[in-house]
C-alpha cells in the first residue's frame, strides 16, 4: 500500500499517542541520529565497506523505515507538517537550480 507523506505522519503520530510514547523534540532528534547511524552501518555492510556495489537487503529497508519513522516523530514533536516542509524545500531547490544549476545553498 502506498501512501503520501501526510498519511505517514498521521500514522506515526497516532502510533506515538496510542502507545504513550510522547517525548520532547530533543530526544526525538537524538533517536533520529541514532537511526541514521544504523542505516549507515547497514549500507557499509551491504557494500563491504565500499569495496563492492551496495547490495540491498530486507534489513536496509527496515533501517530506512526506522529513519522515516524517527524523522516523522521529530515533526510530530515539533508540530511541523512534514509534507509542507518537503514542498517548501522542493520550491527552494527549484529556485536555486533555476539560478545556478545546483541545489546547494553555497554556504
pLDDT value for 103: 60
3-class secondary structure per residue, 55-96: CCCHHHHHHHHHHHHHHHHHHHHHCCCHHHHHHHHHHHHHHH
How does pLDDT run across 31-44, given as a tens digit for each residue? 999 999 999 999 99
Give the global pTM: 0.84
List the chain pLDDT tens, one digit each, 107 residues: 455 558 999 999 999 999 999 999 999 999 999 999 999 999 999 999 999 999 998 899 999 999 999 999 999 999 999 999 999 999 998 888 877 776 666 65
Q: Does domain 5-100 have CATH number 1.25.40.20?
A: no
pLDDT value for 4: 56
Spell out the domain ranges in the chain: 5-100
Amino acid at each position: 500500500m502506498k501512501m503520501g507523506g501526510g498519511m505517514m505522519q498521521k500514522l506515526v503520530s497516532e502510533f506515538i499517542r496510542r502507545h504513550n510514547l510522547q517525548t520532547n523534540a530533543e530526544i526525538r532528534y537524538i533517536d533520529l541520529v541514532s537511526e541514521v547511524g544504523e542505516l549507515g552501518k547497514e549500507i557499509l555492510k551491504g557494500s563491504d565497506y565500499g569495496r563492492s556495489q551496495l547490495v540491498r537487503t530486507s534489513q536496509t529497508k527496515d533501517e530506512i523505515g526506522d529513519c522515516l519513522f524517527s524523522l516523522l516523530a521529530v515533526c510530530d514533536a515539533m508540530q511541523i507538517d512534514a509534507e509542507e516542509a518537503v514542498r517548501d524545500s522542493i520550491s527552494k531547490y527549484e529556485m536555486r537550480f533555476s539560478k545556478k544549476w545546483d541545489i546547494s545553498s553555497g554556504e
